[in-house]
Structure 1
Amino acid sequence: MDYEIRPVTLQGAFDPLNATDEFINEYGLPKRPPPGPALDVWNSALNGVTFLSGQVLDLEIVRQLRLTNVSRGNQGTQESSRNWSGAYVRSEPGKRIRMVQAVWKVPAPPPISYPPRPWSMWVGLDGHDPASRLMPQIGVAAYQIPTPGAPVLLLVSWWQWWDRFDLARLHNPISFVGEGHTVFAQITRTGDDIAQFLLTNLDTGEAFCEEIRAPSTMEDGTPRPRPPRIEGRTAECIVELPLLPKPYVPRDIILGNYQSTTFKNFFAFDGAPVEEARAMRMNLWNYRPQPGILVSRATIDRTRNEIGMTYVGPP
């Protein structure tokens, strides 16, 4: 699948405080949020960073698990998912969400085991509603990959155009994120089928940023039934149980024990405020040893714009 990509062309460190909008657009730099707390976070996260060029992870990942059987919990702000845990907000009436951002600390990857215990943490636009077909995402994942001889544990940073009706491939900008590092992630809709993907390592001062157009064809090269389009209905910060390549069986896979982390400075424009965010917990109904087991839950701190994530599954 071919992607139309526009990378950052700036050489050297970025000075966000003195960069004009014209300068940002000329060099493909990260889009600036509106004035307020989100802009303060953006300025701090990008001050002095250098941008890295991307590369595709040489690994085929099968289709991501879709969000299924979403239902409200007893508190009215809780939903249950088979593979998502975190929070989302909806767009304001008559508007489309154009940007989402959050900051979090990367947990330790789980030890190699069988069945494997992967996790993925990301921010994204759309993808929550059953009718949603396309979702730009960026984040960090811990995977156990089968290789000849012994499994390999990967902690990778990645971006993805997820498509509900097409095979998807995880992409690895560059593995510049490690255990204990704090990252700033941002997705910006810059066109109906174009998104800017940004991930910054706040500990090393390195960043990945590319503007990428969604593919106009399916993975096998056939034309899409409808043009790709970012709807901008929802924005999310999520801990996910991803699928792994064969020969692993989805029913055997359980979310990796990430202990806990917090999505800080969760902002979405033009989205409803975090006061209206809905939390999501993860129940694994297809997990054969304990169907329906609760493995991950989220707590929303509406005064701090924070989503606290806690692993509550088997050790």
Structure 2
Amino acid sequence: MATKDWYKLTFQIESDKEEIIIWKLNELGIFSFSFEYLIKTENREEVNIWLPINEWDEISRGDFEEIIIKLLNINNSNKFFEWIIIKEEDWLTSWKKYWAPELVGNHFLILPCWINLNEKFKDKQIIKIDPGAAFGTGSHPSTYLCLEKMENILFSDKKVLDIGSGSGILSIAARLLGAKEVCAIDNDYLAINSTNSNFQLNFGNLNNLSTYLGPFNEIVFKNQLNKFDFVLCNILAEVIKEMIPNIYKSLRSNGEVIFSGILNSQKDEIIKILIQNNLQLLDVSSKKDWVCIAARKENNRTYA
């Protein structure tokens, strides 16, 4: 039987490097990580990353170190990285201690499922999350931006598509806000499993949720997924660019899309592609180096 033990990789960074580390980890499909501010120096953080042993041999670990070294422009990497082995039975204890309830916007509370709800949060929209081994608890700035945008939208009786569903946070939020039908797509089977289990955790059933495993452009065509009132797309900008034409087709007339996972430096290019595909820009919001873009499909555009 394959081992289920974990490597825990630890290194320190300047706090202003946090966003680029998050972006790179997401690009590499690594979602079990945390950042911890060091008490003695406020502008430095400790990065903790958990990697399953059976997927990370010595060569892979070396290659990963090289990626981080280049990303942070490190001249001397001696003693920069610390690798330790975490046994499967100790993994949850090691990882969970870094997570706490997260308030998002005015209405949402992301609640790790092993933590009891504090009475002072009972008036919030509670999103319970069990990240498992694949996904974090939703603390990424791009997830915050999506949720902050969603809480000001009327989802009652709407049909919603969640592209790159991950742990299912946005799908759960849409349902909490009244969506009558939620479709979630991800090309990672762990993500689909996580979306289903977290949806079940929050609602006790999988009613109103349909999940699809595979690339968006294939899934949306094969299953004729269309006429959505809202599309939620919290993934990397390079992937978003290729999806925009089919996202347009999947929306009903006047349907809206929320894009996140976009760095500020990528914003203008994404907006240009949206306009080229007849998606009208509605709003741009930002958090740190990340941007959230809302747009609307207009079939019959008029020009002055």
The TM-score, its normalising length taken from structure 1, stands at 0.23
Return the index of the structure with the highest Cα Rg.
2
Question: Which fold has the larger relative contact order, with Cα–Cα distance below 8 Å and residues 6 or more apart in sequence?
Answer: 1
Instruction: Name the structure where strand makes up a greater proportion of residues.
Output: 1
